[in-house]
């Protein structure tokens, strides 16, 4: 076992079950996050990502199993003081300036970061005197990130952190997150931007229907899909595309489709023979997004397979 996985987890779910009415949001989910790890929790809408975050941050309790934070209850005040959280739905007071809000929030911690350091890490220079209510959506997300890192957290939860940010702001936040990881903090990331997950995470956990269906490094997850991605525009239906030779997966975004195939030449020959109007055609190796899409389409594995994945991770 590597030194990384010999360390006790800072945050963990063990056989966690959570029901929301008649819906089972989590179905015996296991997840462990250790110091210095960045774990990206990925999956389709409704997979259980938000519920997992809510259990680990103490906003919900599991119906069965357990949630642990620093070895104790996530609702414990001491444990929560070692955690920084950036949630999608969090708001900011409209009348406070950026500097006032960050300074107020850092006062909740016993040993906070210096105010100017927080402003710099969050890329807020030049915005300190602006009222939070006058900020753009991306600027507000940067303030929320500043609040999340104000107490030098040992466990940092980032829920869709770069929504609304331009490319420069995204890269600035990525650099700040890498610095947190380098000093030993654990990071749990949820994001719909798969390039973000690949840029930051050393471990990808894919969940669907409240269960882990894959767990490994970005390269290991991509290797689960031994395929090439063909992207194009075509008049063929998804059902017709799925029936093409050697095709293992079909997905569609807008008018453009992605075919995963184990033989690009064979699939291309049949595709072009059946639709001479194909255009906007590219062929490349399968991406992390392709892999996650294919894993979700393939469905959840048996509980034994899930346990094997956890033990290998």
Q: Return d(Cα 156, Cα 180) in angstroms, integer.
A: 8
Per-residue pLDDT of the chain (313 residues; tens, 9 = 90+): 444 556 789 999 999 999 999 999 999 999 999 999 999 999 999 999 999 999 999 999 999 999 999 999 999 999 999 999 999 877 899 999 999 999 999 999 989 999 999 999 999 999 999 999 999 999 999 999 999 999 999 999 999 999 999 999 999 999 999 999 999 999 999 999 999 999 999 999 999 999 999 999 999 998 877 679 999 999 999 999 999 999 988 999 889 999 999 899 999 999 999 999 999 999 998 889 889 988 898 864 433 333 333 333 3
Q: Return d(Cα 148, Cα 14) in angstroms, integer.
A: 25
**Which domains are seen in the chain, by residue range?**
3-217+300-312 (3.40.50.300), 226-285 (3.30.70)
Q: Return d(Cα 260, Cα 91) in angstroms, integer.
A: 40
Say if residues 143 and 120 touch (Cβ distance below 8 Å): no
Q: Return d(Cα 248, Cα 262) in angstroms, integer.
A: 7
Say if strands 186-190 and 203-208 run parallel, antiparallel, or are unpaired.
unpaired
Beta bridge partners of 249: 260
Beta bridge partners of 84: 156
Q: Report how far apart, in Å, the C-alpha atoms of 210 and of each of 49, 117, 213, 285 are.
A: 8, 39, 9, 29
Structure tokens at 119: 């402003």
Nearest to 48 by CA among 8, 11, 7, 19: 19
Contacts of 311 (CB under 8 A, 6+ apart): none
Beta bridge partners of 199: none
Say if residues 202 and 215 touch (Cβ distance below 8 Å): no
Q: Return d(Cα 223, Cα 279) in angstroms, integer.
A: 28
Contacts of 289 (CB under 8 A, 6+ apart): 194
Tell how many helices (H) and how many strands (E) occur in the chain.
Answer: 13, 13
pLDDT of residue 246: 93
Nearest to 90 by CA among 167, 145, 136, 41: 145
Tokens 């911690």 belong to 109
* Other CB atoms within 10 Å distance of the CB of residue 207: 25
Q: Report how far apart, in Å, the C-alpha atoms of 275 and of each of 161, 235, 244, 266 are.
A: 41, 7, 12, 14
């Amino acid at each position: 076992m590597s030194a990384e996985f010999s360390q006790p987890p800072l945050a963990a779910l063990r056989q966690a079950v959570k029901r929301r009415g008649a819906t089972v949001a989590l179905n015996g989910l296991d997840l462990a996050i250790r110091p210095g790890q960045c774990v990206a929790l990925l999956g389709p809408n409704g997979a259980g990502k938000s519920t997992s975050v809510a259990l680990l941050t103490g906003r919900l309790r599991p119906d069965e199993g357990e949630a642990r934070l620093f070895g104790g209850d996530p609702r414990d005040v001491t444990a929560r003081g070692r955690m920084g959280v950036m949630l999608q739905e969090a708001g900011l007071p409209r009348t406070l300036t950026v500097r006032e809000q960050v300074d107020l929030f850092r006062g909740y911690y016993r040993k906070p970061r210096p105010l100017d350091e927080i402003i710099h890490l969050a890329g807020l220079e030049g915005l300190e005197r602006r009222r939070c209510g006058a900020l753009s959506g991306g600027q507000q997300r940067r303030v929320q990130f500043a609040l999340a890192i104000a107490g030098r957290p040992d466990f940092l939860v980032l829920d869709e952190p770069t929504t609304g940010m331009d490319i420069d702001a995204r890269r600035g936040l990525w650099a700040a997150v890498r610095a947190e990881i380098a000093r030993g903090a654990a990071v749990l990331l949820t994001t719909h931007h798969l390039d973000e997950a690949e840029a930051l995470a050393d471990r990808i956990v894919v969940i669907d229907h409240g269960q882990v269906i894959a767990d490994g490094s970005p390269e290991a997850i991509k290797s689960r899909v031994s395929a090439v991605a063909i992207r194009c525009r075509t008049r063929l239906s998804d059902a017709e595309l799925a029936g093409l030779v050697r095709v293992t997966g079909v997905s569609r975004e807008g008018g453009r489709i992605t075919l995963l195939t184990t033989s690009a030449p064979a699939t291309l020959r049949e595709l072009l023979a059946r639709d001479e109007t194909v255009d906007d055609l590219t062929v490349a190796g399968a991406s992390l997004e392709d892999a996650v899409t294919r894993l979700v389409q393939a469905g959840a594995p048996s509980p034994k397979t899930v346990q094997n994945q956890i033990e290998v991770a």
